[in-house]
Structure 1
């Protein structure tokens, strides 16, 4: 149930609301003004920005006793390149990015419907390109509204395995299609959060519901699997047929790639391998202690010598050959943080056992036991000799 928008409790509080509004606390920021100035263009193409960005916007709390901080149109937008909008044809909430036209050419190779219908493709789908005569070097890319890949945080071992599987599968597909990303770090990996948030979430305040007031109801990946996507192809390059794929530059989010240089050319595909392996190490192996089975893969992907790293296909093959957990409860078991205390471990293990017990009982009551069927069925377990025969 919605909490509703609280009102001023007394004249003094109402005066404070009015003073903050008069002082410009809720005014549009410079990057928001840029989007406001493109409101009509996007509307003409069937995409409506939130009321805050309407050229004639007036705060909805004006003349009322409502607390501005709880009104949806007081919520600022912080990202210059990307904003959310409602697609008028079906009411879906989408993301619109103002990107360089060079990025659009990469998206045409990977992100059009004919390509994204392939389940191996984990590049963000492209719904439409919108040109603006005022911006000759850029255009608007209309895509699904996504979330950071690790928001909300991972909970179970099987969730991490599924993330690694999907991202390796996606990188293999991308390289097969003749594109190297060159910036596939954590900030450019996102997920479709729809399965986790049945009532939706606010685009600018991801922990809130779409009204911006209530806490967003969320579920776990292990029970409601998500799909992960690579985004932002601003640094990406097409691979050459002759295999000569040397590049120069020191751009990108991950500055730990050993070979990055503005002067010495280096081979492009191994950069993707290192960056993705570094994601696994920093976001998972360094944080959790029950993911050690991933260490051989991560060590191989982050070799200092680019020539010693596996290709995308080889890395995916190595992943599928690992001794991965395969028993349902093992996949559902919680991630154990390296710095957790003994008391914390006891509490969290007790809670995890209780939660698993409830899950099993419910499964027995409602249907034949199905342990996270969607995720487990997709994991690359090695066949045993008995099953192979």
Structure 2
């Protein structure tokens, strides 16, 4: 945050604000508060022009304990309440100059004949606003989503269900000649509303979750016990591309994505036209490898992932021509799932970093929950209704 006092609420010192001060990145949203309100969307109170921090008169260290002390996680996304129905949505700031196609591609994958297909896992599009304050920016309005790996998966069946949905969604895009070109883990989200009956605070970064009003911890149901299945979505279509039926072969100049490890884009090859569909296959395979196998330092992975090791290995082969198509990968994953027993699907998903003896101790409680769900007839593998 700048040192100028213009960013400080009236009567508040920099020391009193502490970590709750409005950052430079957040100021963009603060300047749009009144216009967004007039447009039907209310940002959190910390962005209101007349905001007075709730911890006024206390130490700046208190900010983190208050709802209005929660800073935005990222500069380009913000949560808001849609005034027409009270729904919490996400507003995504789009720089039209650097991402000229994102809004149009998001609209395209939401055309009625595509959006209504249950296999479509492209993020839903609620609308777009054009900033009158910064004309070079649009604001995409999309559902409230969260990273697909948070909270942790509790059973093997939950992991299998997630992978099946992701493969289905990317296969659907490819069937319609849409290459995402960045199906990296940061661009895969889930609608976790069935897991959080009282919602969750979008910006809270502490341990666990808090309710949106910050009155208490938000304790989620498991994916298995949620009243309806969670659905996973692909977001960020800024570098996606669609081909015509006549475009053979499907070659296009590569672009940088969140995953910089695709073998066909290394060295001088990153400037050579390439087919983005096998690269999509690599990206989603590598995402599974990172998150569930623990091939990334940010993720511990889970034990017992051998059932899809061969498939993921094929999807991440060095030679793109040797990788399966998404249709083939989905078919293989469905076959794997069909061959898994109820006992296997209900097995606890155990972190690879969890101490062995601790796993045994916690295992009793995990299995007790699984057996109870089995007796109650709760499906081990949740299917989305069409």
TM range (shorter): 0.7 to 0.9
* Aligned position for 2:288: 280
Determine helix, strand or coil for the equivalent of 1:140.
strand
For the Cα contact (< 8 Å) 1:28–1:76, is it kept in 2? yes
* Aligned position for 2:363: 349
> Structure 1 residues 156, 249: closer, same or farther in 2, change over 3 A?
same
Shift of 1:304: 0.7
Q: Gapped runs of 5+ residues in structure 1? A: 1-17, 364-369, 380-389
In the alignment, which of 73, 92, 98 is matched to residue 68 of structure 2?
73
* Aligned position for 1:51: 45
* Aligned position for 1:5: none
In the alignment, which of 230, 234, 250 is matched to residue 230 of structure 1?
234
2:267 corresponds to 1:267: no
Q: Deviations over 1:320-351 (max 9, x none)?
A: 22265543332121123345443123213222
> Structure 1 residues 355, 291: closer, same or farther in 2, change over 3 A?
same
Count of residue pairs brought into register by the alignment: 354
In the alignment, which of 25, 29, 32 is matched to residue 31 of structure 1?
25
> Structure 1 residues 303, 39: closer, same or farther in 2, change over 3 A?
same
Shift of 1:250: 4.9
Shift of 1:166: 0.4
* Aligned position for 1:92: 87
Q: Which moved more, 1:324-333 or 1:19-28?
A: 19-28
> Structure 1 residues 204, 315: closer, same or farther in 2, change over 3 A?
same
Matches for 1:1-389 after TM superposition, within 5 Å:
21-22=15-16, 25-62=19-56, 67-99=62-94, 100=96, 101-112=100-111, 115-205=114-204, 207-224=209-226, 225-241=229-245, 242-260=247-265, 261-286=269-294, 287-322=301-336, 324=338, 326-360=340-374, 363=376, 370-372=377-379, 375-376=381-382
Q: Which moved more, 1:169-178 or 1:132-141?
A: 132-141
Q: Deviations over 1:71-112 (max 9, x none)?
A: 211211131111000000000000010123410110111135
Shift of 1:155: 1.4
Instruction: Give the distance between the partners of 2:50 and 2:118, measured in 1 at CA.
Output: 43
For the Cα contact (< 8 Å) 2:19–2:69, is it kept in 1? no
Determine helix, strand or coil for the equivalent of 1:202.
coil
Q: Gapped runs of 5+ residues in structure 2? A: 1-11, 295-300
Q: Deviations over 1:153-177 (max 9, x none)?
A: 1111001111111011100111122
Determine helix, strand or coil for the equivalent of 2:91.
strand
For the Cα contact (< 8 Å) 1:113–1:125, is it kept in 2? no
Based on CA coordinates, which of the two structures has the bigger radius of gyration?
Answer: 1
For the Cα contact (< 8 Å) 1:293–1:323, is it kept in 2? no
Determine helix, strand or coil for the equivalent of 1:248.
coil
> Structure 1 residues 210, 113: closer, same or farther in 2, change over 3 A?
farther
> Structure 1 residues 267, 377: closer, same or farther in 2, change over 3 A?
closer
Q: CA RMSD in A?
A: 2.4
> Structure 1 residues 354, 322: closer, same or farther in 2, change over 3 A?
closer
